[in-house]
Amino acid sequence: MNLIAKGYSSLDDVTPMYLWNSGNYKYEIEVVKNKYYKECEVFDSSYDEALDKFKELVGGSFEYTEEAYYAC
C-alpha cells in the first residue's frame, strides 16, 4: 500500500487520518481514534475522487506524502 496523504479530522483537528492506495483503484481512509482503535473505509474510485473524499473529511489540513508524487 502507498500512503497518499495525511491530515487531521476537521471535527476536532486532533484525530489523525490517512489516505492509502492499494492499487487497482482501491483506496482506504484510515482514522486513528487512539493507540488501540482505528477505523478504515475501503472503496473503489479514481485518484481524484478518493482525494476529494479525503479532503471533505480533513478540510484544508492535509499534506501529500512523498509517495503520492510517485503514484500520480
| Number of domains composing the chain | 1
Asked whether residue 55 is domain-assigned, the answer is: yes
Asked whether residue 72 is domain-assigned, the answer is: no
At which residue does the C-alpha cell 483503484 appear? 25
Closest to 30 (Cα-Cα) out of 3, 48, 52 = 3
Asked whether residue 70 is domain-assigned, the answer is: no
Which ranges of the chain would DSSP assign to H, the alpha helix? Answer: 47-58, 66-71
- Determine the Cα–Cα distance for residues 22 and 46; give it in Å rounded to an integer: 12
What is the pLDDT at residue 51? 92
- State the residue range of the domain holding 44: 2-65
Closest to 25 (Cα-Cα) out of 44, 9, 40 = 44
What would the pLDDT profile of 24-71 be if each residue is shown by its tens digit?
A: 899 999 999 988 999 999 999 999 999 999 999 998 778 888 655 444
In this predicted structure, the answer to whether residue 72 has a pLDDT above a threshold of 50 is: no
pTM: 0.84
Q: What's the whole-number mean pLDDT along residues 10-33?
A: 92
What is the pLDDT at residue 6? 94
Asked whether residue 50 is domain-assigned, the answer is: yes
In this structure, what are the phi and psi dihedrals at residue 30, rounded to the nearest 5 degrees?
A: -110, 130
Asked whether residue 57 is domain-assigned, the answer is: yes
